Structure 1
């Protein structure tokens, strides 16, 4: 990888023109993948500027093009969604550093790890799940523009939106592993344990979809998605003052099983 270009300002400080090259020697494969994809999508911004200027000129000449309006949103939405992953990897997102700046190095690392794996990554996993159904519905309907002269095949953009959450998850997990390595040896079971909410959310999705497909396979041929959702396995059980779904209880057990299995694998590997 080429060294980043450095610019020395008047006050002697050094500015690096490519944030993706900051700390490149510490980046893992996930980090480099996110930076690579982001650098490709960064080229959408020149095309976005051309599209905006062209539409302004055409509209002023009385030749408004609806497809150009849609095209601008396609370009902007794609670049911004991928840019979120890039900002996570390069740590170039907006921070509120009133307290954080005064933390010790170790406390900063722990704070970043909690923020990434207990707050941000669970949200990304949920967003991926929600937009998956959103995307599949758009593909099934062959969704297009609201305008007859607009840019159709809107399902392409919605598919990209769903895929962008996967890229964000890769970015969050990669930098998490990189930060964890500065505190301890980041073996798999530690990665899964210290990121417990993210691990549990991922196991929950895998569990839910696996059970859904199993029920669908064993159900009568005329069973609908609503019928499958009403199966007893998706019901709730009363625990004290709370109602907890069976799938959540199964998920909790499986999460500890996965972490335990990773721990045994790590022990056998080092034996």
Structure 2
């Protein structure tokens, strides 16, 4: 048996953490001296401690560690690790987005460019014959899944439609949503076909007037560009938004290896305000 200090030194786990594991019920001392109150540990507890340390280092909470220790078997741990893997991937994505914003801010400070630059033009958009796929997806970053599904469907059905055809996405929600976004991806085609499930051959509505802005560089630049429309609409208050937005990816992962050279066009339908 080892005193807590001895056990701490041999296992390279601080006394503070051993006491914490005792308090939370993860690792109780093998014995507590009834006269001195000293916590005593056994070598037989090292495998349990190693499990705790492994789970802690892979991001498990105290509650999750406790549940894992109670249900420890290969299938249960594999399933829990898969869940933690997905959570970690999401956290990495969020942290990379945060890092990109930090680097952009630092670059803007160095260049003394902390202001919103935008160039908005007005044009009309004709009606298009398209094959489209519309679904509610977890968030805007999952849009690529829809494009992949649509391209896979075209190949599976052996449709004579090139992935290089003019394509765009329509965002059917009237407001920005963090989760559960309604997105339709469209590829222009003259071919007619039978609608199956969410795969639809249809004609899009013509847009008499849209405010357009080009986004150069990675997709992280899209959000600030949307904000620039606020300034444009304030300066051109004779216009008001009248419909749902579209995005046209002129250059993206499929035809450009460098994200800094991506080119995306944002289109927001507008109309002249009625005079009172």
Shared fold per TM-score greater than 0.5? no
Q: TM-score, normalised by structure 1?
A: 0.26
Bigger helix share: 1
User: Larger relative contact order (C-alpha < 8 A, sep ≥ 6)?
Assistant: 1
Bigger strand share: 2
Q: TM-score, normalised by structure 2?
A: 0.26
